[in-house]
Every structure is written in C-alpha cells, then in structure tokens.
Amino acid sequence: MCGIVGYVGSATASERPLEVAIEGLRRLEYRGYDSAGVALVGPGGSLEVAKKAGKLANLVEELDARPLAAATVAIGHTRWATHGGPTDANAHPHVSGKVAVIHNGIVENFHVLKDALLADGVEFRSETDTEVVAHLLARAYDATKDLTTAMQQVARTLHGTFTLLAVHADAPDTVVGARHDSPLVVGLGDGENFLGSDVAAFISHTRDALELGQDQVVTITPTAVEVTTFAGEAAEGRHYTVDWDAAAAEKGGFRSFMDKEIHDQPQAVADTLLGRTDTRGRLVLDEIRIDESVLRAVDKIVVIACGTAAYAGQVAKYAIEHWCRVPVEVELAHEFRYRDPVVDERTLVVAVSQSGETMDTLMAVRHAREQGAKVLAIVNTHGSTIPRESDAVLYTHAGPEIAVASTKAFLAQITAAYLLGLYLAQLRGNKYADEVTEILDELRAMPEKIQQVLDRAGRVREIARWMADTQSVLFLGRHVGYPVAMEGALKLKELAYIHAEGFAAGELKHGPIALIEPGQPVFVVVPSPRGRDSLHSKVVSNIQEIRARGARTIVIAEDGDEAVRPFADEVFYVPQTPTLLAPLLAVVPLQVFACELATAKGLDVDQPRNLAKSVTVE
C-alpha cells in the first residue's frame, strides 16, 4: 500500500535528494495513500522532516512555504493509515533523536514493544506502530554507532509485515532498508543509488535494479550497495533490467491512467503471449521448479486470488477444466487458509496477483505449501514475494498498472491462465500439438480484436455519460460471461461508488429478478450463438424476462447475432471469437463504461476512495 522512496547521492548538498523523493512519490501515488512526508540529511549532521496529511500536493505546498535545507540523502513516504488516523502527527517519517524512519506494513507486536519503551520513560508523539521502530533504532544506533547493525538488531525483534527505511543525522551518505513480507527494490545508479516500493519510484533515473530476498537488510551509499541478512550475514540480491521506461508510467495523452491502461490492453495481451514457445513450437513457462511428472499427476487445481484477480481465476476455471479435464476450484485467498482446505501433494495451487505482494494471497500460498501442494504464481511484478515463494511462475507482461482499479492486468491474467491451461493440456496429453497450436493462433488474434472493441466504444461512452446519475446497475452473464458480469459490477462499484451486482443469468428467476423495476439498467453478456445454442437461447430468454418488467437492457453480443436486437435497448457488438476466449473482448466495454461514467460524475478514476493498489496487509 504505502509508497517508499530512498535516495543517496553526491557528498555535496543539493536539491536533488528532495527532487528525487518527490518525483518518486508522485509515481507511487497509484498505490493509494492518505498522507505524505520526507526526511532529508545533510553533510553537516542536519536532519529535517516535513509531512502532511492528505495528498502529496499538501506536502509540496508545505515545502514551498517552509523549504528544507539542501541535502545528500532523502527518504520519502506516502502512507495508508493502519495504526492511527490520517493526521500530520501520524504521517511518516517518524523521528527519534537523530533517526528518521518510514514503514510499509504492520508491526503486530508493537504493543509489547511500546509498553517496554513507555516503562523506560520514552514519550510518543503519534498513534502509530512505526514510531516504536524509530525509538528502537535510535537506541540500537546509540549502542552500536552503525545504522546497518542497528537495523539488523531491530528487524529481528519485529513481528508482522514490514519494509523499513532509515536515515541518521550522523550518516549523511547512507540509507538503510529492511524487508519482511513487504516489497523493496534497489535502483543502481552512477554515483547515486535508490530504494523504492517498486521500480516506478526510480525508473526515470535507472533501469538497473536489484531484487532483495526475504528478511534482508540493504545499505546504500553513493557508490555501494551492501545486502545482509537480519542475522548480519553477507547476502546477494539478484540483478535485473527493468523492461519498461518512465514513459510507460505517464498518461500518454489520455485523461487518466485508467483510460490509458484500457487502451494498453491489446499490447498487454500481445506481450503476455510473446516468447511462450520453444524451437519445436511447444509451450514453455517462465520459471518452472516443478517436475513434469508431478504436474502430470495433479488431480485438482485450486486458484487463489482476491478481487479482480479472482474473477480472472473464474474464467481460467472454465478453460482449464475444458482443456485438461481436471477439476478446478476458485478460492478467495483470504478465506482459503481459514477453512481447512483439502489440498495435498497432488494439488496444484495457482496464485494470481498483479503486484505479487497481496498479503492475503501470500499467506494462502504459504499455507498451501505447508500442506504439500505445489504452487504456481501468475503475477505482473518481477522480484515480488509471491513468485519467489512459489514453485513456478508465469509472468504477465502488462507493464506498470498505475490506476488502482485493475484493467489490463485482468486481461493479462486471463491470457496467462489460458497459457497455463494449454501447457498442462500439452504436458498431460489432453490436447494434440496441432490443437494447442490452433488455440494459440486464436489467442494471437485477440489483440487486434480487442483494439476493434476499443475503436467501436464511442457509443459505450455516450451511454455512460447519459447514465451518470444512475444509482444501481445490474450485470448478467452465463458460462464465461458470469465472471465478466461480476468484474463489470466490481469496476462500477470501485470507480463510480454506486450499487452494482453481477449475477449468473440462470439465477435470475431464483431471486434477483425481484430487483427489476421500470428503468433499471441491466447489462447482459450474451454467449455466442455459434457455441452451445441452448445457452444462447436461454440468455435471450433472460433478456426478454427483464425487458418485460421494464428493465433497460444493454447487451454485449458478438458480430452477427441479430437474435438479441428485438429485446435490447442497446447492443454493443464485439468480434466473433471462440467461446472460452470471449471474456477478453466482452469485459472491455464494461471497463470503458465504468471509467466514463465515473469521469462524468467528476470522480478520480485513478485513485478511488478507500482503495489501494496493492493490499500488503491482511
């Protein structure tokens, strides 16, 4: 959730540390936050802090009104409130003596630690768990006179999830960080080095990055990066090059990041499909540490995810079961480990997460592995925790997704799930090579078809603007259209703050039809008439049922489907495509609709209220 930036540069004090910190925090605004702050250290032993509740603009105004001195080192933070409300006092950094600390996560044992500090006469100025860390670090530094050693000692006493960055007035050339179950990456520069919650924090300065492992401490100076364990043993990070540049994190002429990311989807799907076959045309995944014999013996697959990623998993269920003839369950990760799930060494657990840091999903991954299951991760972020703790990983290549509400990550996750299903079908002998190749060719045609949907979306936007005052919208779908309907409803809830529900169309007469009243807008995702004809006709019957009760029916159907026209107030047509691949097209008008309606209401579609991009606490 929280955004973290660290910088150390030239020994000559300048404005650059502050500029890097503020720029990095701007790039991390997509994570969701309610306060922001910076701490600067200069060569004369100075430590200065500025922090304000609210948006980053409030902090910038404060810095303009009361400028801080030039510096050599900076740390910056955008906070999502956990302990204590979003106030100036609770904003990070927190200071104890000459130490300043910023923190992402939750220190679960802070009450015990705080009680001990209070008993020793320490005074607290905030309601946060983080201030405990600041006081502990100050004490440890006084005893060791070394910030790295102090961080190692303190990290060993903390329980929970945390990324910490710290600076000390007596060390104007050093920033020290620590990570446990929370993201932190290093940016490697020339005469300067960087730290960030993710690479967006420093991407305009370097694309050379270092991936940190679990329970590691990193110390950066202008010319060196040292990685150690919490126990103080030497360790190494993994170097990698970021394959997108700063321009990818800018709006590129669109009104919002979300609008841009909706239009990025053809490329996101195409990039996720790239390089997936070997010289013999057989499918390969990014990183497999599971023996093929184990995958052949799998008798159940469980997809674990949250929110939009869970709906991607629902789509995956239909495809994988059809292609592989293996039962697939889709579980909300936060429910999975608390219900005593039945998994064993013949279960493959598929963890889906855009950030790779979703704490609910990470905890479910760990529980599954404890039960003997193998875990394969589908994630977008290289170097994140979930793929490192999984047995295999299939990376989506969607690039940075800045808007909090997911769009292109959803399509990339579905695409990756299709690849996984085809890989397993190939490996297990459920599909012949030519059948896999045929489906891959159909997948490779999808980016162009998605672009066609976007090119036709003008009427969707008109309807969204016309419906800006709508208070409730229902979504219906069957088969793979059902999770599409739920995702369409979720997008509208996230962005427009209005009531929206997605239902399986077959459930309509079992209760939800009671919601239908004159003028009620209902989106209906209609399956292809070229597939199971009975399914198509049943959905058309559903449209007739709700239309007869006064609903305003807005239908998504494939080109050539004239059977829906007599019963629809509006029809948005998408290109013909195989049934199992249809979600990649059908969801796009729903994304456009939600984005446009929220924009028409004057809402911030990139940072919806109460939401954060990456949920890194349970």
Q: What is the model's pLDDT at position 122? A: 96
What one-letter code names the amino acid at 334? H
Confirm whether 616 is domain-assigned: no
- Given 393, 414, 444, which residue is the final one in a domain? 444
Q: What is the DSSP string of 221-265?
A: -SS-EEEEETTS-EE--EEEE-SS-GGGGS-TTSSSHHHHHHHTH
Nearest to 585 by CA among 561, 556, 606: 556
Domain that holds residue 507: 452-607
Q: For the segment 24-49, what is each residue's pLDDT rounded down to a tens digit?
A: 999 888 766 889 999 999 998 899 99
Q: What is the DSSP string of 258-324?
A: HHHHHHTHHHHHHHHHTT-B-TTS-B--SEE-S-HHHHHH--EEEEEE-THHHHHHHHHHHHHHHHH
**Is 80 exceeded by the pLDDT of residue 253?**
no
Task: Give buried/exposed letters for 13-29 (b at 16+ CB in 10 A, else e).
Answer: beebbbebbbbbbbbbb
Domain identity same for 236 and 284: no
SS3 label, residue 32? coil
Q: What is the model's pLDDT at position 618? A: 62
Q: What is the model's pLDDT at position 223? A: 96
Q: In the chain, pLDDT over 90 holds for what percent of residues? A: 74
**Is 90 exceeded by the pLDDT of residue 507?**
no
CA distance 57 to 26: 9
Q: For the segment 47-69, what is each residue's pLDDT rounded down to a tens digit?
A: 999 999 999 999 999 999 999 99
Domain identity same for 46 and 145: yes
Q: Is there a contact between 137 and 175 (Cβ–Cβ < 8 Å)?
A: no
**Is 90 exceeded by the pLDDT of residue 8?**
yes
Domain identity same for 510 and 462: yes
Average the pLDDT over each of 87-101, 197-211, 221-235 and give the range with the smallest value: 197-211
CA distance 377 to 348: 10
Domain identity same for 111 and 149: yes
CA distance 74 to 67: 14
Confirm whether 617 is domain-assigned: no
Compute the mean pLDDT over every residue in the chain, rounded to the nearest whole number: 92
Confirm whether 528 is domain-assigned: yes
Of the two residues 247 and 124, the one the predictor is more confident about is 124
Q: What is the model's pLDDT at position 75? A: 98
**Is 80 exceeded by the pLDDT of residue 288?**
no
Which residues are bridge partners to 37 per DSSP? 51, 77
Q: Tokens 């409300």 label which residue?
A: 85
Domain identity same for 461 and 427: no
Q: For the segment 543-563, what is each residue's pLDDT rounded down to a tens digit?
A: 888 888 988 999 999 999 998
Model confidence band, residue 513 (pLDDT cutoffs 50, 70, 90): confident
Q: What is the model's pLDDT at position 590? A: 98
Alpha carbons within 13 A on the beta-carbon side of 37: 26
Domain identity same for 257 and 383: yes
Q: Is there a contact between 2 and 33 (Cβ–Cβ < 8 Å)?
A: yes
SS3 label, residue 54? coil
- Given 444, 472, 499, which residue is the final one in a domain? 444
Confirm whether 614 is domain-assigned: no
* Whole-angstrom Cα Rg for the chain: 26
| Catalytic choice (51, 431, 493, 613) | 613
CA distance 359 to 337: 12
Confirm whether 613 is domain-assigned: no
Q: What is the model's pLDDT at position 251? A: 72
Residues 6+ apart with CB under 8 A from 340: none
What is the domain-level CATH number for residue 406?
Answer: 3.40.50.10490
**Is 70 exceeded by the pLDDT of residue 471?**
yes
Q: What is the model's pLDDT at position 1? A: 61
**Is 80 exceeded by the pLDDT of residue 417?**
yes
**Is 90 exceeded by the pLDDT of residue 248?**
no
Q: For the segment 232-244, what is each residue's pLDDT rounded down to a tens digit?
A: 999 998 898 887 6
Confirm whether 39 is domain-assigned: yes
613 is a catalytic site residue:
yes
What one-letter code names the amino acid at 154? V
SS3 label, residue 352? strand
Domain identity same for 421 and 467: no
55 is a catalytic site residue:
no
Domain identity same for 368 and 489: no
Model confidence band, residue 183 (pLDDT cutoffs 50, 70, 90): confident
Of the two residues 459 and 198, the one the predictor is more confident about is 459
| Catalytic choice (2, 306, 324, 595) | 2
Number of domains present in the structure of the chain = 3
Average the pLDDT over each of 124-128, 144-148, 211-215, 328-332 and give the range with the smallest value: 211-215
Confirm whether 476 is domain-assigned: yes
Model confidence band, residue 440 (pLDDT cutoffs 50, 70, 90): very high
Domain identity same for 401 and 469: no
Domain identity same for 425 and 522: no
Q: What is the model's pLDDT at position 198? A: 85
**Is 70 exceeded by the pLDDT of residue 449?**
yes
Domain identity same for 291 and 181: no
Q: In the chain, pLDDT over 70 holds for what percent of residues? A: 96
Confirm whether 541 is domain-assigned: yes
CA distance 340 to 53: 41
Q: What is the model's pLDDT at position 260? A: 92
**Is 70 exceeded by the pLDDT of residue 616?**
no
- Given 214, 247, 280, which residue is the final one in a domain? 247
Domain identity same for 10 and 126: yes
Q: For the segment 349-404, what is each residue's pLDDT rounded down to a tens digit?
A: 999 999 888 889 999 999 999 999 999 999 988 778 898 899 999 989 887 888 99
Where do the H-state alpha helices sit in 345-498? Answer: 359-370, 385-388, 408-428, 433-444, 446-455, 458-466, 481-496
Average pLDDT over every residue of 130-134 = 97
